[in-house]
A and B are shown apart, each in its own frame.
Chain A
Amino acid sequence: MISVGIDAGAATTKVLLFQDGEIMGYRIASTAFDFVTAAGKMFEAILASCNIGKKEVGNVYATGYGRNSISFADKSISEITAHARGVSFLFPEVRGIIDVGGQDSKVIAIEDGKVVEFLMNDKCAAGTGKFLEYTAKALEVPINDLGELALASRHPAGITSMCTVFAESEVISLRARGITKEDIAAGLIAGIAQRVAVMAKRMGLKEDVAFVGGVAKNGGMRAALEKELGVTLYVPFEPQITGALGAAIAAQGNR
Chain B
Amino acid sequence: MAERDNEALRSIYRDDPEMAELIELFVGELPERVRALREFFDAGDLASLQRLAHQLRGASGGYGFEPLGFRAEQLESALKADADAEVVRKRVDELIALCSRVAA
Q: Do A and B bind each other?
A: no
Give residues in A with beta carbon < 8 Å to B.
Answer: none
Give residues in B with beta carbon < 8 Å to A.
Answer: none
